[in-house]
């Protein structure tokens, strides 16, 4: 879904700004931003009094767009909400292809009708709209600053934000840190153009090397996933997703439902699309700064070169916590370092050059560590009044801008004024500077993570929706309410591994079924009115003879006589092995998702789960197994038999496909799923049907 047209939005040949230009009013602010930012193409102010801002008396100003001789590509609309429709109509008549609507007062404040009217007009006149209720757009290559926020420095990062305020805050902090942008979009209510279209555009935008975004909600999870994967395939993609804490709160009808909360599903989407998730604004900007100025880190081995021990230890602590390896050097590197470092220096990692470190020693040490053992380095200078921070900065910059093997070097200059001249030099030379080693370590971990994503990108970051479409959907072959015998028959017909089972409607049938199945047996009541069978005494274990089976049936019939008793299911009793839970659920954003987790008593206690968006291939199923904390149990922990991993992975794949093929499945749990050396067996299954035409839910299960 390439939209090359969007490049015209960001490089308009003429712009019309609608709204009051009186001091402090929004349209005037936009005009000021455009002119101060250096926009040189034709520009006109449109407002009832045909006013231009007082400080730009010669600027064209009209009461109506019709009177303009130019044909604008872009209308920036900052009129009161009730006048937006009229303005859009005027733009439509004039054939303006793009509008950025800053005006608030639409869906965000309950005015759904106004927002619908805006959408209609946009469709009718074929105007593509950003907003309403947004803070505008910027594009530094075309010197377009059609936004009320701080003007971005020029650069090669694109930032798109669902919140104008977060966008403004990011730009303000980025400006202080020298981080520059190609593109900024605050897309507000996304009545028309939203994140999916913007991401596809940015994926192929030659002016953009890094894409960052702030997101609160998405409208179409599958489309978002495809767009995110399209970006990650080309360039680093960093996301802040707000609302993490609230996400998991909803009540759910099954374990899969509660364990695969919407935040867990979003995390799975990031993982499957190759996006990097940042926790907050500082982490986002730290990553942007690193990606802007540094090559990727092709491995996890980090060297810390410092002139002070303490802060370097804190750096090592944090670097290891975020997945890097602060490994010790080998003998050849030690030998190389000892040629020029004094015996007071530490030849271990962190490499402490001591307070006597010179710029030359920093440069030589950085070159040596990158040549020998490490994938990236942090250079730390902790200022004291005796040290000329500028000289150290020169040595560090020399090594950082021409690093051995094209590896990344980040710098940390601590202690404020004492290191200010050095810090300025590094900024001028484009060496990214972090306020603490802890944050530098986290940023380099991002470089390393994206490098590993890039290595795998052609394998597992595939376009999900295409695969999904290949699976033809079907209807469930049973009606409402779903009874256990039907669910068992359905799963058996698809070769899902259930224990041998028979349904009995009478004591005699129970006796005969038992004899046919062999012993020991489990018997479960069948009734549309009994959902939690175990809790209600509807499950009888360890039946060891046909006569016991008859007695058990009579007992169930007696207990559940008043509860629409239909009979009983008899199963061969399973030898208990490793308990897992495998399930699918239909996420409101992303559709079918798969969950694999530790089962039994561990399910709720340790929440050891892996989540993916369905369908999956074998490799992804294997990754899910690898993510489990209880994985050692499957691998023959302490001399126990090894579970059949191939059978488990195959079952995960088939379960993920089941969820795609039967859209009526809202939630389906195999809990417990027993994994053993001979394969997997479903100990119990439970199905929750998606709300039907009548909006009803229905549950059925083996339980």
Contacts (CB under 8 A) with a copy of itself, residues 350-369: 355
Pick between residue 434 and residue 503 the one whose CB is nearest to a copy of itself: 434
Segment interacting with a copy of itself, rule: CB under 8 A, options 90-98, 376-384, 424-432, 556-564: 376-384
**Which two three-digit tokens encode residue 56?**
């730009």
Residue 647, sorted as left (phi over 0), alpha (psi -120 to 50) or beta, turns out to be alpha
Segment interacting with a copy of itself, rule: CB under 8 A, options 74-82, 86-94, 306-314, 585-593: 306-314
Pick between residue 303 and residue 660 the one whose CB is nearest to a copy of itself: 303
Smallest distance, Å, CB 166 to a copy of itself? 4
What are the DSSP E strand ranges found in 436-590? 501-504, 521-526, 539-543, 567-572, 578-587
The site that binds a copy of itself (CB under 8 A) totals a number of residues, namely 75
Largest CA distance in the chain: 103
- Is-contact 178 411, C-beta < 8 A? no
- Strands 665-676, 679-682: pairing kind: antiparallel
Pick between residue 317 and residue 564 the one whose CB is nearest to a copy of itself: 317
Pick between residue 385 and residue 695 the one whose CB is nearest to a copy of itself: 385
Instruction: Please give the residues from 275 up to 294 whose contact with a copy of itself meets the rule CB under 8 A.
Output: 279-282
Segment interacting with a copy of itself, rule: CB under 8 A, options 223-231, 303-311, 565-573, 580-588: 303-311
Smallest distance, Å, CB 561 to a copy of itself? 25
Residues in the chain: 703
Pick between residue 117 and residue 277 the one whose CB is nearest to a copy of itself: 277
Opening angle at CA 201, ends 199 and 204, nearest 5: 105
Instruction: Please give the residues from 38 up to 57 whose contact with a copy of itself meets the rule CB under 8 A.
Output: none
Pick between residue 577 and residue 655 the one whose CB is nearest to a copy of itself: 577
Instruction: Please give the residues from 65 up to 104 whose contact with a copy of itself meets the rule CB under 8 A.
Output: 104
Q: CB-side exposure of 250: number of CA atoms within 13 Å?
A: 15
Segment interacting with a copy of itself, rule: CB under 8 A, options 329-337, 409-417, 569-577, 655-663: 409-417
Confirm or reject binding of residue 515 to a copy of itself (CB under 8 A). no
Confirm or reject binding of residue 418 to a copy of itself (CB under 8 A). yes
Pick between residue 319 and residue 501 the one whose CB is nearest to a copy of itself: 319
Among 57, 251, 417, 493, binds a copy of itself (CB under 8 A): 417
Instruction: Please give the residues from 628 up to 687 whose contact with a copy of itself meets the rule CB under 8 A.
Output: 629-630, 632-633, 637-638
**Which two three-digit tokens encode residue 539?**
């499950």
Opening angle at CA 221, ends 220 and 222, nearest 5: 95
User: Which residues make Cβ contacts (< 8 Å) with residue 213, sequence separation at least 6?
Assistant: 159, 160, 161, 195, 199, 237, 238, 239, 240
- Is-contact 175 197, C-beta < 8 A? no
Q: Is 682 helix (H, G, I), strand (E, B) or coil?
A: strand
Pick between residue 51 and residue 608 the one whose CB is nearest to a copy of itself: 608
Confirm or reject binding of residue 36 to a copy of itself (CB under 8 A). no
Q: How far apart are CA 440 and CA 315, in angstroms?
A: 8
Instruction: Please give the residues from 178 up to 197 whose contact with a copy of itself meets the rule CB under 8 A.
Output: none
x-or-dash string of contact with a copy of itself, 592-631, rule CB under 8 A: ---------x--xxx-x--------------------xx-
Q: How far apart are CA 660 and CA 172, in angstroms?
A: 44
**Which two three-digit tokens encode residue 343?**
């015996």
Instruction: Please give the residues from 210 up to 229 whose contact with a copy of itself meets the rule CB under 8 A.
Output: 214, 216
**Which two three-digit tokens encode residue 578?**
């490793």
Among 88, 259, 316, 393, binds a copy of itself (CB under 8 A): 316
x-or-dash string of contact with a copy of itself, 142-181, rule CB under 8 A: ------xxx----------xxxxxx-xx-xxx-xx-----
- Is-contact 586 665, C-beta < 8 A? yes
| Omega of the bond leading into 457 within 30 degrees of 0 (cis) | no
Q: Is 31 helix (H, G, I), strand (E, B) or coil?
A: helix
Sign of the CA dihedral with 504 first, then 509, 511, and 515 last: negative
What are the DSSP E strand ranges found in 125-164? 128-130, 136-139, 144-147, 153-161
Instruction: Please give the residues from 229 up to 268 whose contact with a copy of itself meets the rule CB under 8 A.
Output: 240, 242-246
Confirm or reject binding of residue 311 to a copy of itself (CB under 8 A). yes
Number of other CB atoms surrounding residue 265 within 10 Å: 22
Smallest distance, Å, CB 171 to a copy of itself? 8
Radius of gyration of the chain (CA): 32
Pick between residue 256 and residue 307 the one whose CB is nearest to a copy of itself: 307
Instruction: Please give the residues from 321 up to 340 whose contact with a copy of itself meets the rule CB under 8 A.
Output: 321, 326
Smallest distance, Å, CB 566 to a copy of itself? 26
Instruction: Please give the residues from 519 up to 578 whose contact with a copy of itself meets the rule CB under 8 A.
Output: none
Q: How far apart are CA 90 and CA 84, in angstroms?
A: 10
- Is-contact 162 215, C-beta < 8 A? yes
Smallest distance, Å, CB 651 to a copy of itself? 22
Report the candidate in 448, 493, 484, 502 with the shortest Cα–Cα distance to residue 303: 448
Give the position of tokens 């969820």: 659
Instruction: Please give the residues from 483 up to 512 whose contact with a copy of itself meets the rule CB under 8 A.
Output: none
Pick between residue 84 and residue 240 the one whose CB is nearest to a copy of itself: 240
Pick between residue 72 and residue 136 the one whose CB is nearest to a copy of itself: 136
**Which two three-digit tokens encode residue 345?**
């220096």
Confirm or reject binding of residue 438 to a copy of itself (CB under 8 A). yes
x-or-dash string of contact with a copy of itself, 99-138, rule CB under 8 A: -----x----x-------------------------x---
Report the candidate in 76, 200, 208, 231 with the shortest Cα–Cα distance to residue 144: 76
Smallest distance, Å, CB 639 to a copy of itself? 9
Among 9, 15, 17, 26, binds a copy of itself (CB under 8 A): 26
């Amino acid at each position: 879904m390439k939209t090359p047209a969007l490049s015209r939005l960001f490089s308009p040949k003429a712009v019309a700004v609608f709204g009051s230009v009186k001091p402090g009013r929004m349209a005037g602010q936009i005009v000021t931003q455009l002119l101060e930012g250096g926009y040189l193409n034709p520009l006109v102010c449109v407002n009832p009094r045909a006013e231009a801002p007082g400080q730009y008396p010669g600027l064209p100003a009209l009461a109506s767009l019709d009177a303009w001789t130019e044909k604008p590509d872009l209308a920036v609309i900052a009129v009161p909400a009730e006048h937006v429709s009229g303005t859009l109509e005027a733009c439509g008549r004039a054939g303006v292809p793009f509008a950025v609507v800053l005006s608030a007062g639409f869906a965000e404040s309950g005015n759904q009708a106004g927002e619908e009217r805006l959408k209609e007009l946009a469709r009718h006149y074929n105007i593509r709209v950003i907003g309403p209720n947004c803070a505008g757009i910027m594009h530094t290559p075309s010197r377009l600053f059609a936004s009320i926020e701080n003007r971005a420095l020029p650069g090669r990062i694109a930032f798109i934000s669902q919140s104008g305020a977060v966008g403004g805050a990011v730009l303000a902090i980025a400006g202080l840190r020298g981080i520059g942008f190609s593109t900024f979009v605050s897309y507000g209510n996304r009545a028309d153009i939203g994140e999916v279209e913007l991401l596809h555009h940015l994926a192929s935008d030659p002016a953009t090397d890094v894409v960052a975004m702030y997101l609160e909600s998405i409208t179409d999870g599958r489309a978002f996933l495809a767009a995110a994967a399209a970006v990650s395939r080309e360039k680093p993609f960093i996301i802040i997703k707000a609302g993490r804490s609230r996400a998991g709160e909803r009540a759910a009808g099954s374990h899969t439902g509660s364990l695969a909360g919407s935040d867990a599903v979003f995390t799975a989407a990031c993982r499957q699309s190759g996006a990097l998730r940042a926790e907050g604004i500082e982490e986002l900007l730290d990553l942007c700064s690193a990606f802007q100025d540094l090559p990727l880190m092709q491995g996890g081995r980090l060297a810390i070169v410092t002139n002070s021990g303490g802060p370097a230890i804190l750096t090592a602590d944090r670097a290891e916590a975020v997945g890097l390896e602060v490994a010790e050097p080998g003998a050849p590197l030690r030998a190389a370092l000892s040629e020029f470092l004094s015996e007071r220096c530490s030849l271990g990692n962190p490499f402490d050059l001591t307070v006597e470190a010179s710029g030359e020693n920093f440069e030589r040490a950085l070159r040596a560590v990158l040549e020998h053992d490490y994938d990236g380095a942090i250079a730390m200078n902790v200022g004291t009044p005796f040290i000329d921070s500028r000289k150290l900065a020169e040595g560090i910059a020399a090594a950082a801008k021409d690093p051995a093997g094209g590896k990344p070097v980040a710098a940390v200059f601590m202690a404020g004024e004492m290191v200010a001249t050095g810090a300025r030099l590094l900024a001028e030379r484009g060496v990214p500077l972090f306020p603490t080693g802890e944050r530098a370590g986290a940023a380099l971990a991002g470089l390393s993570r994206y490098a590993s994503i890039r290595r795998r990108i052609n394998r597992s970051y595939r376009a999900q929706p295409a695969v999904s479409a290949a699976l033809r959907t079907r209807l469930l072959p049973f009606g409402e309410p779903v009874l256990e015998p039907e669910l068992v028959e359905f799963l058996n017909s698809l070769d899902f591994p259930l224990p041998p089972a028979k349904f009995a409607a009478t004591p005699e049938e129970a006796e005969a079924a038992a004899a046919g199945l062999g012993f020991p047996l489990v018997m479960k009541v069948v009734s549309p009115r009994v959902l939690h069978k175990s809790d209600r005494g509807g499950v009888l274990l360890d039946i060891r003879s046909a006569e016991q089976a008859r007695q058990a049936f009579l007992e169930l019939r007696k207990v559940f006589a008043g509860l629409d008793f239909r009979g009983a299911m008899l199963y061969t009793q399973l030898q208990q092995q490793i308990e897992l839970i495998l399930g699918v659920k239909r996420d409101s954003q992303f559709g079918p998702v798969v969950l694999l987790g530790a089962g039994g008593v561990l399910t709720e206690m340790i929440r050891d789960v892996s989540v993916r968006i369905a369908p999956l291939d074998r490799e992804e199923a294997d990754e899910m197994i690898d993510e489990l904390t209880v994985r050692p149990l499957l691998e023959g922990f302490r001399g126990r038999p090894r579970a059949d991993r191939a059978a488990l992975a195959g079952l995960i794949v088939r379960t993920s496909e089941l969820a795609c093929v039967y859209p009526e499945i809202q939630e389906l749990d195999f809990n417990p799923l027993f994994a053993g050396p001979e394969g997997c067996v479903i100990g119990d299954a439970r199905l929750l049907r998606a709300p039907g035409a009548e909006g009803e839910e229905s549950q059925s299960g083996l339980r």
